[in-house]
Structure 1
Amino acid sequence: MPAPRVLETAGGPPFTFTGTTAVEAGPGTDGAARLLRSALGAATGLPLPPRRSGDEGPYVALAVDDDGSAVGPGPESYRLDVHAGGVRITGGGAAGVHHGVQTLRQLLHPAAYRRAPVRGGPWTVPPVHVEDAPRFRWRGHLLDVARHFQPKDDVLRCLDLLALHKLNVLHLHLTDDQGWRLQIRRHPRLTEVGAWRPRTRLGHRASPLWDERPHGGFYTHDDVREIVAYAAERHITVVPEIDVPGHSQAAVAAHPELGNADAVDTAALGVWTDWGVSPHVLAPTDRTLRFYEEVLEEVLELFPSPWIHVGGDEVPTGEWRASPAAQDRIRTEGLSGEPALHTWFVSHFARHLAARGRRAVGWDEILDAGAGRLPPDAVVSSWRGYAGGIAAAEAGHDVVMCPEQQVYLDHRQHPGEDEPVPLGHVRTLEDVYRFEPVPPRLAGTPAAARVLGAQANMWTEAAETRQRVDYQTHPRLAAFAEVVWSALPPPAARPFDDFRDRLEGAHLARLDALGVDYRPPAGPRPWQRRPGVLGRPIEGPPPIV
């Protein structure tokens, strides 16, 4: 899980891990060897020592294929061969070896995912031959830590679960109206003030219920360095999102001078306690631009990702229409109006990042006033259906497909009344399995190559705990992972029954061993329900736009 491209069973007895099984780690495979020892060693109690020259006992050999002759193209490809005497994993790069180790773990009993031994064995692996490689370069998951803060340990656990599913991008939504989650040493008020809100609405914004406890938290520089290093060991890129110019009320609460003070009393604003889209946006002033350039300078120091997300979605323009300073900027820059000012604002930071060797990523609204001002290497996250991604690809921009109607994991999983805080469209496990990142209009055209991949987004307005995030995310994330990794047939022909059998036959037991509070196939358990907490269900099938 996800299904490999080639899986062949071989004859003969299985391979058995024993107290003398040794690990041979070739150049470039040290990280995979550490994962093998830490994960399997903890679950089995076996030492898995290094293999020495001349050793003839059972072994696991890890190697990188330098010339590309043993595995398919690309650093994430791998080959796994198991026979009675040993296991050999060869990767196109270190990432491929890591993926091979993840497959090896899945060939063992689900107890291999425990943190301490709970069974005595034997720890056997069937004799198989596997050849595998991913379909897409970007296989992502967004975790919204701005609406409800997720402690550092929860982020590290999330990275383990992404690695299990061979996903390779974690998009961290770090800033929004409801909270600023990243320490910026040059501007400490962003977390002293912006990381905390006095209370939180429970459920959808139509709910009358409130949690009157203050809520907040943020990641220090060292927290981020730990998260990034932990992700790198698992060949996952952490893409930070610093939202501009909308979804910024927490920043304006900390620094009122960033807002449109000539149109509204920004000094009276606090970190937003409600959900939805705040009308308060950043002012298009030189002072604001320089402030966020300084923020991004620290972001670039912390995150080595080639991609930096700058948001750009859901930007109300009412304050700009009322602001003399914003209107002056429109005239000075020769812009056609507020929508063009929006694109100008985002483009400023896209060019700022490009000059520093990074690629800006933005939600598909950044194209609404035309793509001409954006650097050609800017990437578009297509969330309002497929249309924005199609337009971006045809205009020459790379695209990450994450349409709300298909892969927003905060949307409800079933129409039943027991579904907790029912939001949005019904997106069942099977619905996610039949998601197709390349829309028909692009399929078979040169623009199809612009689709870097896809991303499943988990927004946390109605998911205030790790338990709630688990419920919304799993097991649909497994279906999504197979879509972006495996060479599947077209959506209508995909073998969902086979996927469901593999999920219920083995994969849910792995999630059980890992302590994941996923949604069971039969529906929510009693403690997973949220009676009386209002959602916003949308009736009817989601549109394909």
Structure 2
Amino acid sequence: MIPRPNLLSRLSGSYELTAGAVVSGPDDLVEAVRLALPVLDLRPGDSGAIELRLDPALGPEAYKLTVGSRGVEIRAGDRAGAFYAGQSLHQLLPDESYRWSAGAAWQVAGVRIEDSPRYAWRGLHVDVARHFFPKRELLRVVDLMAAHKLNRLHLHLADDQGWRVESRAFPRLHEAGSHRPRTATHFFREPETFDDVPHGGYYTLADLAEIAAYARARAVTVVPEIDVPGHASAILAAYPEFGATGEPVQVLDKWGISPAILSPLPATVGFLTTVFDELLGALGATPYFHLGGDEVVLDQWAASDDISAYADELGLGSVAELHAWFLRRLADVLAERGTRAVVWDEAFVAGDLRKDTLVMPWRGMPVGRRAAAAGHDVVATPIFPMYFDYAEAASAEEPMAIGEAVTVADVAAFDPAPSSWELAERKHVLGLQAQLWSERIPDARTLDYRAWPRSCALAEIGWAGAAGPDFMERLAAHLGRLDALGVEYRPLDGPKPWQRRRPHRPGVVPVAEVMRHVEQLTHDADSTRPSF
């Protein structure tokens, strides 16, 4: 099974599960198990093959599953626990049970499972700003996450290269900010080249509501991200008046960091508050909202007399302090609506975050440890090994990637809360999350290739805390389930002929070199911060 359960004991006897079998118990738990086993077309009833009971003492997402000659018994701590019990029961069936055309009766060997997750946050980040993925693809991502007990879908909805959500209050966001005339095809170190093919798309608020509801039914929480105040070219292409200079900009057609930045003045806060309210209204009850806060070029703030005067009015002495103030102001807005802010680690380094702000240390776990020591909850997101837009091998056969290499074994060896940390620091680690930045992920087939099977290792760490010694053996067997589900994953021995691309060009860099560059950027940012 993947992820491996806390306890699995084989029992004597077995039970035959058939299509149309009756499942009994509280309505919400019954519906959860039915969603986890759709091919069986389970029917609710007073008693039957699967008996469900709610047992809150087990804790959130926890369950106990017993299969014997008289049927299946499930005790669940909550609805999510019942859903995960159903997913584990599904993994006890043959791979063919993941196909709708398969037979309708399977013999399930006797087993007892007691299970609960090590980490509450088991996330997958999908960047839909650089390349847009239609709603149908996100629903499929949710299904695959749910099958692996992953429970946080982080949607990167806005960046320099595109805005991806309808706004009825500010319609130019989706009318003008959601598309670009062309896309860069070069690597960072190469001369600029472009494909001259228009790219775009956005989700209506109704789409977003559907995605969130679909995810909630499958124990997945959607975490929206509107990255501010930097990475704002798409916003400013629609509404330049909210920028630091007020000058028109274009939706970026290339990668990298833009100097375009939102203004921190009250009008911008009001604008973002309205947009956030639209998103929160569509998503429903949303416990988390990501504000970004990363890779911000603050030069335009430092050069603005109006912004300097506003900082003086607030009693702030530097653009770094204003950056921190701006993100805290937005976090306060979210808190008033019952939602916690999430930020990338630069926002923590800037300082003055609300204590309930969750920090994602993409630049490495040392800054994550600093955030945890300061009392912030942390989700581990370091480039190595949590950036799945990096190639899985340093091979000319791999498709083009932003760098190389993050292997399945690298992911499986990752420890989000190292034993070298103090206990109080480890307690602030809520979990881990892999990032699928989409500069080099233009379509769903490439998304599959990048995400799987590395996300199987992600699921194992998130649920069990560490990969079991037999993980690679179980993974090899698990690939049959992915085949049945139609996942175009990367084979363990390398890409298939049609998955290969032309050899890497010189611009692709190893992870080690990238990390040295990131560490230098972090050192420079921490030691030299311009004042007004």
Structure 1 residue 416: Cα displacement: 0.9
CA displacement 1:269-309 (0-9 Å, x = unmatched): 11100011111111122221211111111122122221111
Whether 1:151 and 2:134 are equivalent positions in the alignment is yes
The CA distance in 2 between the partners of 1:250 and 1:450, in whole Å, is 34
Aligned amino acid, residue 392 of structure 1: A
CA contact 1:203–1:461 (8 Å) conserved in 2: no
Cross-structure match for 1:320:
301
The CA distance in 2 between the partners of 1:122 and 1:237, in whole Å, is 33
Structure 1 residue 326: Cα displacement: 2.3
SS in 2 for 1:183: coil
Cross-structure match for 2:61:
76
SS in 2 for 1:521: coil
Cross-structure match for 1:232:
216
Cross-structure match for 2:260:
280
Cross-structure match for 1:538:
510
Indicate how the Cα distance of structure 1 residues 27 and 247 shifts in structure 2: closer, same or farther if over 3 A, else same. Answer: same
User: May I ask how many residue pairs the two structures share in their alignment?
Assistant: 513
TM-score by length of 1: 0.90
The CA distance in 2 between the partners of 1:542 and 1:2, in whole Å, is 30
Cross-structure match for 2:315:
334
> What RMSD over aligned residues (CA atoms) do the two structures have, in Å?
1.9
SS in 1 for 2:96: helix
The CA distance in 1 between the partners of 2:258 and 2:92, in whole Å, is 48
The CA distance in 2 between the partners of 1:203 and 1:226, in whole Å, is 36
TM-score by length of 2: 0.92
1:15-414 equivalent positions in 2, closer than 5 A: 15-18=15-18, 21-36=21-36, 39-41=38-40, 47-52=41-46, 59-66=49-56, 68=57, 72=58, 74-114=59-99, 116-118=100-102, 120=103, 122-202=105-185, 204-206=187-189, 208-261=192-245, 266-267=247-248, 269-303=249-283, 304-370=285-351, 373-414=352-393
Cross-structure match for 2:436:
458
Moved more, 345-354 or 120-129: 120-129
Structure 1 residue 387: Cα displacement: 2.1
Cross-structure match for 2:447:
469
Aligned amino acid, residue 369 of structure 1: A
Aligned amino acid, residue 295 of structure 2: E
The CA distance in 2 between the partners of 1:441 and 1:298, in whole Å, is 43
The CA distance in 1 between the partners of 2:71 and 2:468, in whole Å, is 32
Aligned amino acid, residue 91 of structure 1: A
CA contact 2:223–2:290 (8 Å) conserved in 1: yes
Cross-structure match for 2:523:
none
SS in 2 for 1:201: coil
The CA distance in 1 between the partners of 2:262 and 2:465, in whole Å, is 44
Aligned amino acid, residue 23 of structure 1: V
SS in 2 for 1:174: strand
Aligned amino acid, residue 390 of structure 1: R
Structure 1 residue 325: Cα displacement: 2.1
Cross-structure match for 2:522:
none
Aligned amino acid, residue 450 of structure 1: H
Structure 1 residue 19: Cα displacement: 5.1
The CA distance in 2 between the partners of 1:156 and 1:212, in whole Å, is 29
The CA distance in 2 between the partners of 1:406 and 1:310, in whole Å, is 23
CA contact 2:384–2:511 (8 Å) conserved in 1: no
Structure 1 residue 540: Cα displacement: 4.2
The CA distance in 2 between the partners of 1:216 and 1:231, in whole Å, is 24
SS in 2 for 1:468: helix
Structure 1 residue 432: Cα displacement: 0.2
Indicate how the Cα distance of structure 1 residues 40 and 19 shifts in structure 2: closer, same or farther if over 3 A, else same. Answer: closer
SS in 1 for 2:350: coil
Aligned amino acid, residue 514 of structure 1: L
Indicate how the Cα distance of structure 1 residues 539 and 224 shifts in structure 2: closer, same or farther if over 3 A, else same. Answer: closer
Aligned amino acid, residue 493 of structure 2: A
CA contact 2:292–2:344 (8 Å) conserved in 1: yes
Structure 1 residue 384: Cα displacement: 0.7
CA contact 2:36–2:83 (8 Å) conserved in 1: no
SS in 2 for 1:341: helix
Structure 1 residue 204: Cα displacement: 2.8
CA displacement 1:419-460 (0-9 Å, x = unmatched): 1113234111000001111134424x2222111111111110
Indicate how the Cα distance of structure 1 residues 379 and 36 shifts in structure 2: closer, same or farther if over 3 A, else same. Answer: closer
Cross-structure match for 1:491:
none
Percentage of identical aligned residues: 43
Aligned amino acid, residue 428 of structure 2: R
Which ranges of structure 1 fall in alignment gaps of 5 or more residues? 42-46, 489-493
Counterpart selection for 1:503 from 460, 469, 475: 475
SS in 1 for 2:268: helix
CA displacement 1:199-245 (0-9 Å, x = unmatched): 11125344554222111111111101110110110111111001110
CA contact 2:157–2:224 (8 Å) conserved in 1: yes
Cross-structure match for 2:483:
512
Cross-structure match for 1:44:
none
Indicate how the Cα distance of structure 1 residues 30 and 185 shifts in structure 2: closer, same or farther if over 3 A, else same. Answer: farther
The CA distance in 1 between the partners of 2:375 and 2:510, in whole Å, is 34
SS in 2 for 1:365: helix
CA contact 1:411–1:427 (8 Å) conserved in 2: yes
Counterpart selection for 1:432 from 384, 398, 411: 411
CA displacement 1:337-370 (0-9 Å, x = unmatched): 1222211111110111122221111111112232
